[in-house]
Amino acid sequence: MNALRGQMGLWKLHLAVIIIGAIAELIGIRKIPLGIGAILLLPLLYAFIMAALMNPNVMPKFGKFIGEKEVKAASPLIVIAIMPFIAKFGTTIGPAIETIIEAGPALLLQELGNLGTIVLAFPLAVWGLKMGREAIGATFSIAREPNLAIIADRYTLKSPEGAGVMGVYVIGTLFGTFIFAILASLFASIDVFDPRALAMACGIGSGSMMAACTGALTEVVPTMKDEILALAGASNLLTYATGLYAGLFIALPIVEKLYNATAGKRDLAAADNKGA
Amino acid sequence: MSDSVVAKETTRPKIDLVDHAIVLIIVCLVGLVMNTVGPAIPLMDGFMGMIVIYLISMAGLILTRFAPFYLPSVAWISLVGIVATLPWTPGSEWIVAQAKSVNFLALATPALAYAGFAIAKKEIEVAKHSGWKLALVACLVFLGTYAGSVLVAEAILKLQGI
């Protein structure tokens, strides 16, 4: 019952989350159309921004209601607040199990294509931009909600790895639809790839990313519209089912090993120099 | 030092189930408010859905604590969610129907609000330091993921000759 008393002492934090969250939900999903794509704004993003603006570390002037005690307590609460989300997630996978089995080898194996982020982004982040451990969170995945949960669970979102995944996450939420619309139209217009392959790849991100991606793709290849939508939908389902596990058991361990074998030694050397 | 922290992360943390049970109730109630305000799902439907979600989360936490091998709590919770809703699991239709009354984006809203409140001074320094870098890396993350999936799918389709 100590936990209950502890949480009661944090009534300000929980009240602020309820009010901010309710305002964010009332604003709802907003779309800012921009040429071929649209910037998609989601309630969870407003909630994050509003809470940040009430955070005394971000806005020292507003630091009257939320203090350092609430800031410290909020961190472990993120992990627990993500648990119901993950549970809900699981309940969407079970009913679709037969579709997932039927979807076939191409659908299954293209999930490994997600590792392309490690090939492209990791070298740039670690060697090109000399980033630290935030590179692990930033480049192990496409940084959607399940990947946030993986990092939150393993490192917490307050860690450098968490800052990395949150950075890519926020950019993805703000600009993901736009980026995916551009990617799909570029890949389709060069007329090299099978539209079915482009469609499967559309399912790798969030629902809104898939919408933007298939929207652009069907504009370029209107004769294959039904097939594109079906394959993208199946791939998205599969990403929901496998994304968490591919990130947890394949991508994250690879990125961790790569980092520790290369940049990790650089970090240690730098620490030794400072110590000496 | 950071290496040893990583190594220790793979050992099983001691989860206080009673503490988690209480905090999860609070978090689920906050989520229920979001579910009612945003997606406008009737309160009683959302309440039943949230009870199911709560029980799945707790079952996952119990497995995290007592299962013979260690998996992170999110993996266990997700697995419980999957098994509970498989077509051949008895009562799965009812569970699916209840869970449908809970909107997944509405559950993410409070988590991100807590995240906004949890921002520490150090993080702001990191953000200021690597803002444009992360933006650049993010663009390559999306490009790499999309291109990687296209290439693999293309290769398998060619191999299958379909």
What pLDDT, on a 0 to 100 scale, did the predictor assign at position A274? 60
Mutation to test the A interface, candidates B16, B52, B109, most A Cβ within 10 Å: B109
ipTM, two decimals, is 0.83
| Residue A52 counted as domain residue | no
Q: Which of B124, B136, B150 sits opposite A58 (nearest CB)?
A: B124
Rounded CA separation A40/A61 (Å)? 30
Q: Examine residue A53 and state whether it is found in any structural domain, yes or no.
A: no
Q: Is A56 left (phi over 0), alpha (psi -120 to 50) or beta?
A: alpha
Query: pLDDT tens digit string along B89-102?
Result: 999 999 999 998 99
Distance of CA B135 to CAs A153, B106, B129, B144, Å?
24, 26, 12, 14
Tell me whether B137 touches chain A (CB under 8 Å). yes
Residue B2 confidence class, pLDDT cut points 50, 70, 90: very low
CA atoms within 13 A on the CB side of A195: 20
Alpha helices in B15-120 (DSSP H): 17-37, 43-66, 73-85, 92-99, 104-117
| B134/A150 Cβ within 8 A | no
CB-side exposure of A275: number of CA atoms within 13 Å?
6
- For residue A37, list its beta bridge partners: A34
Cβ pair A51:B124 closer than 8 A: no
Q: Would A133 be classed as within a structural domain?
A: yes
Nearest CA in chain A to B112: A48
Instruction: Say if residues A52 and B100 touch (Cβ distance below 8 Å).
Output: no
**A22 found inside a domain:** no
Give a yes or no: residue A99 inside a domain. Answer: yes
* Residue A172: closest C-alpha in chain B: B138
Which chain A residues touch B136 with a CB distance below 8 Å? 124, 129
**Residues of chain A contacting B105 with CB distance shorter than 8 Å:** 42-44
Tokens of A12: 């300000």
Residue A14 touches partner B, C-beta closer than 8 Å: yes
The reply to whether B32 touches chain A by the CB within 8 Å rule is no
**pLDDT tens string B38-81:** 888 999 999 999 999 999 999 999 999 998 887 778 778 878 98
Asked if A43 lies within 8 A of B109 by C-beta distance, the reply is yes
Chain A / chain B CB contacts < 8 angstroms:
402
Q: Give the SS3 label for residue A185.
A: helix
Residue A49 main-chain phi, psi, to 5 deg: -65, -45
- Best A2, A75, A85 residue to mutate vs chain B (most B CBs within 10 Å): A85
Question: What per-residue confidence (pLDDT) applies to B95?
Answer: 95
User: What average pLDDT score do residues B141-145 get?
Assistant: 94
The shortest CB-CB distance from A21 to any of B34, B53, B136 is to B34
* Domain assignments of chain B as residue spans, ordered by start: 2-118, 121-162
Share of chain A above pLDDT 70, in %: 81
Q: How far is CA B151 from the centre of its chain?
A: 28
pLDDT for B3 beyond 50: no
Instruction: State whether B127 and A187 contact (CB < 8 Å).
Output: no
Q: Which residue has the tokens 């398998």?
A: B156
Per DSSP, the three-state class of B15 is coil
Domain count, chain A: 1
Q: Is A40 left (phi over 0), alpha (psi -120 to 50) or beta?
A: beta
Count the neighbouring beta carbons within 10 Å of the beta carbon of residue B45. 16
**Residue B43 confidence (pLDDT):** 95
Q: Report the candidate in A247, A259, A5 with the shortest Cα–Cα distance to residue A142.
A: A247
* Contact (CB<8Å) A145/B108: yes
Domain residues for the domain of A207 are: 76-275
**Nearest to B106, CA basis, from A149, A40, A47:** A47
Q: How far apart are CA B101 and CA B108, in angstroms?
A: 15
Identify the residue whose tokens are 């990403």: A239
CA distance A13 to B64: 28
Tens of pLDDT, residue by residue over B5-36, are: 333 344 566 778 899 999 999 999 999 999 99
List residues bridging with A31 in a β-sheet: A40
- For residues A117 and B138, the answer to whether their CB atoms sit within 8 Å is no
Are B153 and A139 in contact (CB < 8 Å)? no
State the first-to-last Cα distance of chain B, in angstroms, to the nearest integer: 52
B75 touches chain A (CB under 8 A): yes
Q: pLDDT 10s per residue in chain A (276 long)?
A: 677 888 888 899 999 999 999 999 999 877 666 665 555 567 877 888 899 888 888 888 765 788 888 888 898 898 898 889 778 867 876 776 665 565 578 888 888 888 888 999 999 999 898 888 989 999 999 988 788 889 988 998 888 899 899 888 877 765 676 677 778 878 887 778 988 899 889 888 775 577 667 777 877 787 876 677 667 767 776 776 677 788 889 999 999 999 998 877 777 777 776 654
